[in-house]
Structures are given as C-alpha cells and as structure tokens.
Structure 1
C-alpha cells in the first residue's frame, strides 16, 4: 500500500508541474477556433440533419469567425464597412428594421476526433451563444431541449455521436435575441432589449451607437474536452486568511478549502479518489459513483504555513499558487483534472458609521477603493488574451485597485479575471440589469411603462439559472471581490432574493453582495451627500469642495484622445475643431455627435484659442490630465471622512466614443491615464484647488516619518522660488492637510500663472514623489504658458531587452520648465505609433536641472523602433532606439 500511495503522490505532483492556466485538462482539451464556415439560414433549404453531415459540401460557404458574432464575420469578409469609423455604422442594416432572419446564421465546423476507447468520454462545450441555438453533430441533434440565454454555458456529451472514422461535422444555427428593441436613441433604445437575459448596451447608449446584429453569434469559446468516465465540474476553491496581515511579514497560516461536483457519465460504477494539490500539499477523499450519478464532494482544508498572500495593486504583490484537482480511479488512471491558480486572500466588508458607507478590507487591512467602470473589451466581442492583458494593465498603471464590470454589459470572460489576478485589480461584478431599461425612471424613449419594465426580463428562471452558472464560472478568481445585483436598480423580487438568499450563500458565500450599484447598503445618500456623478467636465475645485455619495460608484469627466487617435476614426472632412453649442452636449458636426462627444468648452480656451484640431486636441490633454488628477486627489483627500471609495465613470470604451476613457479603442493612452497615475501614487503630495492647501496622502499601511515636504514655484522663464520645506509625517492609509498656500500663490500667480511643484523626499534625500501643477493667472487664463521660451529638453534612448527600452529626459539647470511632454514609440520608417505601448510615466513635466528615466514596453514584433517626444514648448524630437 505504501508503494502505491507514493506512486499516486508522485503522479499528482507531476500533474501540478505540467500546469496549464486554463481551467480545463491541458492535454485533453482543445479549442475549435478556426476553419468555421457560415451561411445565412434563410438562404438554405436543406435539412439540419443533412448539412451537419460531412458529405454535404460547405465549400461555398463564407469563412466564419468563431468565437465571434455575425457582424464580426461580415466585417472580416468585407461584407460591411468598419462600424467604428465615421458614420459607417449607419450603413449597416439594423436588425429592428431588417428582421431577425437577416442575422440568423448557420455555423459549421469539421474536426477530427475518433470515438474514445473503454469508458472514455468526449464533451462539447460552448462558453457563450447569443441567443438561441440548435446544435447538430454528424446528422444528429445534440440539444434535445431548446437552448436559450447569452450567459448560460452549454456542455454536451457527444461520445455516441462521433464518427468511427474520426471525421466529424458540427453545425449550429444561431438565432438573435428574442427581443431586439428599437434603437431610438434612448439608453438601451426603447428598453425592450432588457426582456432578454443578455446585455443591454447593444441597443445604444450615451457612449455607443447600436450594434446592428445585437451581438448574435457563437461569441465565446467552443472546446472539445476528453475525460474518463468521471468528469469534474465546477470546482470551488475558497481561501481564508484570518486576522490582520501586512505584506512582507512572516505570516500566520492561511487555509484553502476545495470542493467539486463529480459526474459519472459511464454505465458502470466507479470508485476512486478526489485529490487536491497546492503548495506541494494534498488532501484526498475516497468516492464511489453509481452509473450516471452526480455528487458534490468537499475536501478537508489545507493549511498553508507562512503563505505568500495576494494583495491589491499598490499594496503588495499578487502571489499566485498553482494547484490541481483530479479524480483518480482505483487503477490509478486520471479520469479528469482541472488546473486552478489560487490567490490566498480574504475580502471582507464593514459599515463605516462615520461616512455611512461600506468599506473594504483585504487580508484584514483597510483599502480605500480607487476604481474604474468597465463596459466590455470590444463591442463586437472580439476578445483576446493579449487585449485583456493590455487593458487591465492600463488600469494597473492608473494606480487603480478595482474594476467594476457594469451591469448593462457582460459577466466578463475568465481571461479577464486572470489578467486582474496578475495585476492586482479587485473586481466588482454586476448582474444584468440597469435603472435605464429596467424601470427606475420615467423615460419617454421607452416602449413600456415602469411597472412593466420593472419585471424584465421575461424569463426569470432563465436569469436565475444563468446567474448560478456565471457564479460557478468565475468564483475561483482571487480578484473577484464584490457581487452587485445590477446597475442603479434592484432586480425583480424573485430574482433578487434567489441571488442574495439562495445562490450566493450556496455557490459562494465569501464575497460582499450589493443590492445594486448605488444602493443605500453600499453608500447611504444622507443629507451630506449629493448623489453619484457628475459625468462631465468640472472646475478643479469641484472635486475638493462638492461632497458626493460616500462610496461613489460613478463619477467621471471628458476623455478624448489627441490628433493621432482622432485620425483613426474621423474622416478627413470631420477633422476640425468641434463647434460646441452652449448648454448642450451636441456640436455642429454630425460625426462628432455620432461618436458621443461631450464638450470641453472654456476649459480648452483658457489655454488660448486653438488654431486647428491638433492644437485643440493637445490642449484637451492638459484638461484631461488636470481633471482626473484632481478627481482622484479630491476623493483621496477626504478618505475616511467623506468617502470610503470612488469608481470612475468610465475608464475605457468598447467603441470609438469621444468621452470617458483613459485610452482609446485602439489601446492608445491619453493624458487622463497619467493624470490618474500621478494622483494615485501611494505616498503623494497634493494641492487642493478647493482651499489652496497642501496635503499628504499615504495609501500604504506604514507610517512614514521624517519626510521632507518641499514646495516651490517656477515662473515661465524657469526661475525657482522656494515657498517652504518642512519635515512631516504621513499617517497610514489616510490624508493630512499640512498648510495653506493661498497668500503665497496669490502673489506669484497673479500676472501670468505659475508652476507649482510639491515634492516628498525621504531621510536619504531621495525624491519619492513629485507633483507639478500649472496654475492660471488672476483671470483664470493660462496666459503665461503662451509666452514660455522654447524647451531645451534632451533625450537619450537605449534598448534594455526585447520589447523594452529606457528613455532618459534631461532638462538643463538654466533652462525653462520643459512642460507636458508626450512620449510615443513609433515605427522608424512610417512614424506610426506602435500599440499598445506601456510607459512608466508620460505627459511629463521636467523642472530646470532635473532628469527623468522612463521605461517603455512595446510590441516585441517590432523589428526596430524610434521614440518621439514633443511638448508644450518642445518641437518633436525623434531618436532611434539602439542596443
């Protein structure tokens, strides 16, 4: 027995070492992601059983993109224009007028898979189809019962359908949503899109035009999976981290609790062992399964001594453990195994009696939430690991610690949560509802009254089944921290209570569940608060003086890109300065209006009337930076007094919109990202535009003593004036007002404005934070900026490794301030930006006598790169990067 026990242990450790990230068996699962063909269903008269046989020719069918939507395939085949460019979307027939048959398609895929030997099983998995479908394999219908629902995975045992020759034909007919809605310009069009258990934004919103096929298609992965007779479904790994912890310390133990459902798909009884391995430790449970029996099995907890904990961004490392859960039959054959990465962390929530809002604790430590609202990666659902990685990485680079997945869109894909695990972004996941479509407000754009809309969707049981399935799909990810019933409205009572009182306790039970995104249970709207929002540009003092909800789930501003960004989707004729209509979001340009532009108004003009679109867009970046730096600093400056958290509306766009984004659809960052990055530094000196005071923010869990706070101003010629330098301390996880600059600034800024530099130095005189503001003159204009001498900034570039470079910027001692310089990695031949590029800082300002090193990660496929730099008072320089 001892020899057999050792053999099994070695076998399991070997499985761990051959770990694969996907939560499928690595060598026994593959994706059907190429070679698909499709055809409009109305153009076929053949029986489904016939077209799903290999002998039926599909050679003339159109190549299909799977995963993808009908529009994705039509775009790939150049059957429609790019809906993200100009007003091309208006040239694509909308399903509301064209009819559902217009976007009903057959999708076929030929693949090789021979019937397994012995008790082997072959499974066909769909991770997402929108909205109804019928599935055929080799002339047989696979789904005996009708299938409906965008957010319900499908798994079919297809062992008996496989051809002995191994040549197989899979055929799927996909029908659009039952209710496609009228895209009449309202939020979610006329609202009836919410009758489905699907996303709502596809009928149009104030940041996107309607998606013409409503995302009909096989929109997520299709896989073939091979197992023994027993398959593991929905493993659940829970972690507990008792007490209050700190990164970098010797840790008390943490605990891992594993469970899974086992299903015997064979016609004979099976006995074996369910085993879970993590940190080279394992636990087992002996199991017997009768033919076709399902059984949930709970394993004993594993104690991890001195664990490497998982922490949110800026607070500590994102440690992950590889683990595997497997079922091994008595003959030592592995019937099935699942690989799961585990983050040892515990997330709790507590009510803050002072702010009257919820606060979040991770591993016992209080975390001030700095979040961003996420819609979806791409409006046509063209998902990829690389794009997820880039977008989540941008959120990490903004200094955020949470992403909220908004309720009018999706439950995100597992690859999204994997990226959040890597980069330390907590996730607040909404379910599928919104106050706009689901009846919170009166709305003349809506087809049905509030009482009727209050009961959307039509099929409540489908919603509940879909919610249960999505919980099981993503509950193992350490980044997932909060569940939310929906956006700005509680779901219908039976759905809400099923979620809160039944599904959550049984299927999870480890996370905070919020009734809805601005619920009183999250953030009490007492008389001291003024609600969520606003969603447009504000005076910088607003973010310090105007008190919003104590945990604001939506507040934001502008976010257009620079000229290079705009040229990607604005036709030449529309590349002009938008003429804004006073008191309205509309402008006198149909394309800008179509792409949902919101105005900058006098905030751009304060830098001088722009000469052309390039000048306008560059000045808009100054506004972008200031808006989002002040937004986050204003909330951080009032943390634990007014606020326990803030979530920006919004940080990204799945379409070429002209509002609310830190980077454009093409993954090109604008100055919003770097304004946020500056404002969110863990140890940070700040200037309040509300009362002209200097604050120190310490968003770490360590008290910081012997900090030297240095405050200086610089005039437009670069002359320095020291206001003060003083030793001070920074309270852990808090902000502290140090002193007022009101009288000092009123003198130096009166004539032409001034630069204000706030610096923090440690005991070794090393600068650990620098924050440079540009302040207007007494009339509110930035008049002095237009009289600055030319910059004398120099740049030196060197290659550090493949896909990584270092840029050193130097500003001489006797030079003026080198103001607001943008770096870009470009192709040395074409001059085009290489995307995505990740910069340790950007839109940087260098004081006289200072130097800054910036690291850049860029696409490794680039054969050679140059770096471009240009600024407010610097003409473009370009330098090739050499080893």
Structure 2
C-alpha cells in the first residue's frame, strides 16, 4: 500500500478518548431505509409528513445517496437506460416538466438529545439542485437551499425529539434550467445556467440523463461533537529542493490551519492540537459564544520524510494525522483525521517545448494522462468502483487524471483512490466552451454573449467553488486546478478563482485559466488547442507535431463481443457500416451509443466474417492506436512535448468510443496498449522513421542495457537484427538505429513481427515490445496464414482473489499472437469483473514464457482462466 503509519499510535489514542466520551457512533451515514414520494401527488404539509406519526410505509423505497432516476430504476419503474434504446423510453424532464421528477425523501433515524454541551449536526455533501429540509415537524433551513456543488451543515440539536425517534424529510427540486436535449453538446446549452454539471443534457459521447440527476446524490451524515467543532482543516506540505525517491531525505515541513466554531452560548477555552509522526503542535484558543475563527498552528518539521510520488516514479507514502480540540476540562470536543502525502507540486515554463511542465518534489514529470468524466452518469458512486477505475489508470502506466469541466468536482473517495495509486489530478471547474459560448452554435438557445455569462447565479458559483476547494485540497494527488473546459469563465468568476479563492484557500497548486489555454502551451504557430479525435494512421503520432501540452487527444475504443453483448440487443449485434471515418449510421443502437468509426483499419486484417471477428480485429487496432499514440509523445518528450492527456479513458455509460474499459469494468486492448507504451524503461519502434528508440521515463540513468531487436515471420522463424549495449538518459528518448531496410526486405510479402527487448546486466528481461507490421500494401492479411499456436497454460490460485498464470510457447512453434486472458465463473460462463491483469493481449514468442499475475473479486469459487488468441482457440483451465 506504500503507507507510512509512523505516528499512528497518537491518532489511535485520540480515537480511544473519543469513543470513551461519545460511544462508537460519533459519525455515521444515513444511507438506508429512505422512502420517497412524488411531491405533486401529496396533499399533506411538510410539517405533517416530517413527523414520525405520519405513515410512509406505502412510499417507494429510495436510494440515498442517489437520484430520482436511480430510485425509479431500482424499483423497476423504468427500464435500464444503459441497454439498447431504453433511454428513449424514459420521460425527459424537458418534455414532462420539473414536477415529474420533484420528490419528497424521508428517513427515520434514532438519535437522542445530547447531554451537557453536546451538539448534533446534519450534513449533506451534495443535493441537486435545490431543497427544503424538515426535521420532526420543523423547517431546518431558513431559506431554499440551492447548488449542486455546495455542502450543507445544520446544527439539529434543538430539533431532536426527546424520545430519540426522529423523522427527516427533504423535498428536492430539479435544476432551475433543465435544458432542451436537442442533440447539441449540452443540448441547447441552458443546462449551464445552473451551477451544476452539463453533460446531463447530452453530449457527443452520451445521451441525456432524463431527470438531470435530481436527488440527494451524495452522502448524508450525522455528527456528534461537543460545543466546538473543527471545520475545513488544511494541511500544506513543503518539500524544498530537488528530491529522488531513494535514499535519506532532507526535512520537509507541514503547515496547518483549521477553523473552529463554537456552537454554544458560553465561551469555551481549550487547545487545538495537530499530531503527525510522533510530533504534536498546539495552541490555546478561546472562543466566544457562537464565534467562528481560523487558527494557524506552528510548523512541523519532518526529518527524513517518506515522500509521496506519482505512479511509476516512486511509492505513494502517506502519514496518518489528526486535528483535535480539547477543552480545558480535558474533554475532547471534536477531531478530524487527515491522511497526509508529503509532496510539493510546482510548475514552470519550458522554453524548448513552449509549454508548462509539472514538477513533483522538484523533479520534472512528463505528464501521461487520461480525461475522466464521472464514474457513473447517474452518480451511483462507490468506494469499490472508484478504486477499480483508478487502479485501471494506474495499470495503464498513466500519472494524471483530468476531471473534465462539464462534469463535477470529484468526491473525496475518488481522490483517496488517486492518493493510493499515485495518479495526479487536474480538476476542472464547471464550464465548457460548448455551453458557455466560446463558439457559434445553431443548436444553442442563447447567443454567445448571453452564454458567456452563464451560470445565472455568480455568487453561488463562487461560494460553491470555495467549498469544493476546501473539500479536496488536502489530497496529495490534487495537482492542478483548471478554470474550465476550453473556455475562460466569465471575467468576475475567473478573477474570483485566480486572484481570491486560490491564494486564500490553497495557493499550493498550478491554476490554469482553461484546459487548452495559451498559458498551458502554444505551438510554433503561436496558438494552442487540442485533438485530434478519432483514428489516425500510425505514423501520425510520430510525425505530426500537435500542441506541446495536449489536454485532449483520442481515438477509438470499443470492447470485444463479450462487452457488446452486455448492452446491445441481439438483433442489433451487427457489423457497423460507417458513413464517415467517425460516424456510424447503419444501426440505431450503434448510433445511439455514439459509435466512432474505425475507417478502413479493420479491413486491413481481412474482411470481417462476423461481429465477433470485427470486434476481435478492433482490439488489434485499439492496441496499436494507443501504444503508438503514447510512444509518439514519449519519443518527443521534453523536445516537442511536456505532456499529453488522452480523450478519454472511460465512459460513465455504455458508449462506444473513447474508453480503455467498458462501463462494466471489463478492459479492452486500449488499456494494455497503453500499459505497454508506458513502461518506465522501454524499447519502441517509430512508425515515423522506422527506427528503434529507447525511452527512459525515470529520473535515473540506465547503464549497460542490452538492446535486442528481432523479427519473426508468420511461421515463427526468428531473425536477429541487432544485439547491442546502450544507455538510457533520464526522462528522455534516444534514437538507436534505423531498421527500415531490414523491414522492407523481410516483410514485403506478408508482413512480419518486430520484437524489441531490453535486458539488464543480469540478463533479466525488463521490457519486451512486439509489433505486427503490415506488408508492402499496408495490409495485415499475412496474419491469417499463421499456423495454430501450441501454448501450455497453467494457473495457480495463490490467495483468495489472486492467481498466477503461466503461458509457455515451445521452441520451434509460431508466435502465440495477441492472447486475451479472462477470469471465468465456470458455473455461469461469465467473466468475473473487475479483474486486474499484470498484462493482457499477450504475445508469447517461440521458446518463451509469460507469467501473469491476476487479481479478481474475493470469495469467487468455481473459477477458470480463459485464454484465446489470434491463432489460439479458446482454452479454459480450471483453477483449484
């Protein structure tokens, strides 16, 4: 896990004292037992229905956290909008009106009146879009609450019933502007009049979300404290100088502050403490009745700190730490735990690339990122899903995730997963060039000048931005703030963010005005941008110079036949015919799910015989596209480029474009093409100049590497091209030699395989990269002449949820080409998801063996490993 739990005893002792004072339920979530009812069908008053005596047994069970649509789906009132054309069967709020999705939500819970100066707090972490809150017949909020990205906290001590039985009732109203889902990016654009997410009115990768995600979409919690509560603690880590992961470290410094609020009518004196790594700093504080003040504590110096590093560069060490307020009578009033990753993020302009570069702990980091929308379009979030998705990004070899501005501020659980797996985060605020008026657009209701001032409520935007900054600023993974997607926000909003909120509330991270800004990078023509999108010829990624820090560049991304069958009805499982290079119109379901075309790239492997054949060949294209995309950028790192962010790595619904794994968490070959291309020390082939390169994506020089370059024909006959010692410069790519003439001579008729290997001084293989190259006509049909592979497969379960698989290819056999491994439930025949593979879509050379480590859902029994490849019929090996 990479955690440093030094100092954990101190935090544990705080918890022990807290448990002794208040019992085990100081903080708990109200996440079950909710009921809901359509507001327009109720005649009872809010005061009546929020009394425990009012019967709600007949009400519909509600999903909280969740949306109205989630609840309707869970109760089978609507069909699954992710399957086929079902989304069209669900009434859209624009047509049926907002009352259709306006619901009351009720929850009965037990909580007694606290003794002494005890306080009980009700917290909402996210409601979309506005609400009124009642507890035991009384209204809790003084005025209508509004704002998707604004947390709510209410002191409900005086609202509790003496009996301890309480009824919470919340009426949730949809967004003020629901938007016409007319097929434009964000529909008619008016969804952006709210301080909320924009994709829910539809985009070019998603259909409209029918209720616009109306509901109590994030956690509801109860907290119990004494009179003084700690809010918005901030931990700032300073790491001077240029560091490396290994060896002793010079000291790092921890700056902390927190806001204290006295909820009582009497003055309170006590001590604010912060504890980390067996060290404590503290200050005496006196708070007047109902006073709220921010307190800054003395600096903590951490000797020889265990630092936090991005993925592939070093471990993700974290320290447990805690704030506490202890009254003068030694009673603990409140505490807050914070897991601290000690690191410092900076940015500086690179004159050679003409772009900004990101530095972590003083070291330059070449950004290899992916664009992220949300985990689920209906906001059905879970710790397990966040963990799986971020882990996939780790497995791709990426080091950054950009949270796109048409979505939301990601949840702390997402950031916790990024902390764990070493993914830096670029967090956009809520705006897009499409909805907010950058371009003319006939599908938009308002003109550019009007859209330029979206949202309607600027003070709410600023208040919400401040609150979201406070919510996530302690996470070491958070590295970059971005004002919006492809547009500078309205001037007052932009200056509030840049000149007021950032310096006051954070001040430790790079702030970009918008995602493809000239302040981020500009090319030789003196401008910036993003793209291209869609499939490209492989030499493009090496020869065409895009923007120096490209925030969006992408390609194809459909899954295999198993993935397609999960959401496409049988009658629509047809080979898509393409109208243009990026558009399919032959089938309504493929069009509805936003299929992006493969052009003629699949036909180069031979005309597909079936959809399964089409999907399998698409995986070859997927792998090549993303491996080559990343290798092309890495091949020009710190010369042409300082970073690249793929558009996009995941989908929040069952779309047919831009994804490394499907909605059901089943990876496709895109993921493993990136996995190969992002290896820390890597041999690669340039489709631009037909040369072999070595990339070193570490901060250490690599000496005495043995580079081995081989070719294989379709029968498996090997030809050694070269074997030479060489070195790899840190954070660089080096051209070694051209193989153009060799390839031209040997592969003209049928194509060939090119394998590049790197071995260390102990003759240990540290990198292997096999390409399949086209014949002189640009076709791969020579692959169809490969003899059948003869692979020996062995699997061994080594722990619950973990297995090792060995693939052995005998001497003299052909290559075992492009083998997909899947963990299978032998009783259902279905893949176990999510499963994680140390590598996949694997080619095993003649006389070679590949060992694959697999993690799959714990508790699974009756499992087998399935292996199927280009020239290997599917085999299943039972794992015992």
Match in the other structure for 2:328: 330
Verify the 8 A CA contact 2:10 2:278 in the aligned structure 1: no
Deviation readout 1:656-693 (Å, 9 max, x if unpaired) = 00000000000000000000000000000010001101
Q: Separation in 2 of the partners of 1:19 and 1:408?
A: 44
Alpha-carbon contact 2:534-2:582 (below 8 Å) kept: no
Match 1:504 to one of 454, 479, 502: 502
> What is the alpha-carbon distance in structure 2 between the residues aligned to residue 788 and residue 232 of structure 1?
68
Aligned residue in 2 for 1:128: 126
Q: 4+ residue runs of structure 1 moved beyond 6 angstroms?
A: 17-20
- Cα distance in 2 between the residues matched to 1:636 and 1:479: 22
Quote the Cα distance in structure 1 between the aligned partners of 2:24 and 2:505.
Answer: 25
User: Within 2, Cα distance between the matches of 1:13 and 1:835?
Assistant: 36
Aligned with 1:488 (options 467, 486, 490): 486
Could you say which residue in structure 2 is the equivalent of 1:110?
108
**Counterpart for residue 852 of structure 1:** 850
Displacement after TM superposition at 1:13 (Å): 4.7
Partner of 1:787: 785
Query: What is the TM-score when the length of structure 1 is the normalising length?
Result: 0.98
Give 1:3's aligned residue.
none
447, 453, 456: which one aligns with 1:455: 453
1:587 Cα deviation (Å)? 2.4
Tell me the SS of whatever aligns to 1:581: strand
Q: Distance in 2 between matches of 1:389 and 1:480?
A: 16
2: CA distance, partners of 1:530 / 1:790: 49
- Report the CA distance between 1:244 and its aligned residue: 0.5
Matches within 5 A, 1:449-598: 449-527=447-525, 531-583=529-581, 585-598=583-596
CA distance in 2, matches of 1:612, 1:13: 60
Written as runs of structure 1 = structure 2, the 5 A alignment for 1:19-418 is: 27-418=25-416
| Shift in CA distance, 608/484, structure 1 to aligned 2, threshold 3 Å | same
Of 596, 618, 621, 2:619 maps to 621
Instruction: Classify the secondary structure of the residue corresponding to 2:629.
Output: helix
Q: 1:17 to 1:726 in 2, by over 3 A?
A: farther
The answer to whether the 8 Å contact 2:582/2:598 transfers is no
Change (3 A) 1:852 1:584: closer
How far residue 443 of structure 1 moved from its aligned partner, in angstroms, is 0.5
Give 1:26 deviation, angstroms: 7.6
Q: How far did residue 768 of structure 1 move? A: 0.5
Q: Distance in 2 between matches of 1:688 and 1:18?
A: 60
Alpha carbons of 1:353 and 1:332: their partners in 2 closer, same or farther (altered >3 Å)?
A: same
1:165-199 Cα offsets, whole Å, 9 max, x none, are 00000000000000000000000000000000000
Give the superposition deviation at 1:745.
0.6
Partner of 2:724: 726
- Find the aligned partners of 2:484 and 2:24 in 1 and give their Cα distance: 35
Corresponding residue of 2:637: 639
| 1:863 CA displacement | 2.0
* 1:582 Cα deviation from its structure 2 partner: 3.6
Distance 1:629 1:11 in 2: 46
1: distance between equivalents of 2:168 and 2:859? 35
- Inter-partner Cα distance in structure 1 for 2:291 and 2:524: 53
Cα distance change, pair 85–119 in 1 and its aligned pair in 2 (3 A) = same
1:828 offset after TM fit, Å? 1.2
Q: Assess, with a 3 A threshold, how the Cα gap between structure 1 residues 618 and 501 changes in structure 2: closer, same or farther.
A: same
SS in 1 for 2:541: helix
* Aligned residues of 1:16 and 1:322 also touching (Cα < 8 A): no
The SS at the match of 2:605 is coil
RMSD: 1.4
**Does structure 2 retain, via aligned residues, the 8 Å contact 1:328–1:334?**
yes
Cα 1:10–1:304 change in 2 (3 A) is closer
Equivalent residues of 1:529, 1:550 under 8 A apart: no
Distance 1:332 1:246 in 2: 43
Q: Contact conserved, 2:11 with 2:321, CA < 8 A, in 1?
A: no
Which residue does the alignment assign to 2:656?
658
Contact 1:530 1:547 in 2 (8 A): no
Q: Is the 8 A contact 2:522 2:528 kept in 1?
A: no
State the 1:860 CA deviation: 0.5
Q: Structure 1 residues 17, 682: CA separation in 2 closer, same or farther (over 3 Å shift)?
A: farther
Separation in 1, partners of 2:73, 2:679: 42
Pairwise CA distance, 1:738: 0.8
Q: CA deviation at 1:524?
A: 1.6
CA-to-aligned-CA distance 1:241-299 (integer Å, 9 cap, x gap)? 00010011100001111110000000100000000000111100100001000010000
Deviations 1:323-381 (A, max 9, x none): 01000001111100001000000000000011110000000011000000000000010
> Closer, same or farther in 2 for the Cα pair 1:19/1:273, shift >3 Å?
closer
Residues in 2 aligned to 1:626 and 1:832: alpha-carbon distance in whole angstroms: 27
Q: Give the gaps of 5 or more residues in structure 2.
A: 1-6
Q: Distance in 1 between the 2:293 and 2:581 partners?
A: 63
1:820-839 pair list within 5 angstroms: 820-839=818-837
Cα separation, 2, equivalents of 1:734 and 1:262: 49
Kept after mapping to 2: 8 A contact 1:254/1:305:
yes
Q: Deviations 1:445-477 (Å, cap 9, x if unpaired)?
A: 101110110000000000000000000000000
Offset, 1:27: 4.3
Q: Structure 1 16/245 Cα, relative in aligned 2: closer, same or farther at 3 Å?
A: farther
Partner of 1:879: 877
Structure 2 vs 1, CA of residues 41 and 196 (structure 1 numbering), >3 Å: closer, same or farther?
same
- Per-residue Cα deviation, 1:626-658 (whole angstroms, up to 9, x for no partner): 000000000000000000000000000000000
* Partner secondary structure for residue 812 of structure 1: coil
Q: How much has 1:156 moved relative to structure 2? A: 0.2
Question: In 2, distance between residues paired with 1:595 and 1:177?
Answer: 25
Is the CA contact 2:481–2:510 (under 8 Å) kept in the aligned structure 1? Answer: yes
Which residue pairs with 1:5 in the alignment? none
2:812 maps to which of 814, 818, 832: 814
Distance 1:528 1:156 in 2: 51
2:518, 2:527 within 8 Å by CA — same for their partners in 1? no
Q: Deviations over 1:715-759 (max 9, x none)?
A: 000000011111111000111111111111100110000000000
Shift of 1:826: 0.5
1:26/1:519 CA distance change after superposition, 3 Å: farther
- Counterpart residue number, 1:711: 709
| Matched-pair contact (CA < 8 Å) for 1:25–1:337 | no
Distance change >3 Å, CA 36–CA 840, structure 1 → 2: same
Q: Shift of the alpha carbon at 1:784?
A: 1.1
Quick check: 1:25–1:336 contact (8 Å CA) kept in 2?
no
Q: State the 1:25 CA deviation.
A: 11
Decide whether the 8 Å contact of 1:16 with 1:323 is kept in 2.
no
CA contact (8 A) 1:233 1:260 kept: yes
Deviation at 1:15? 3.2
Q: The residue matched to 2:274 in structure 1 has which SS?
A: strand
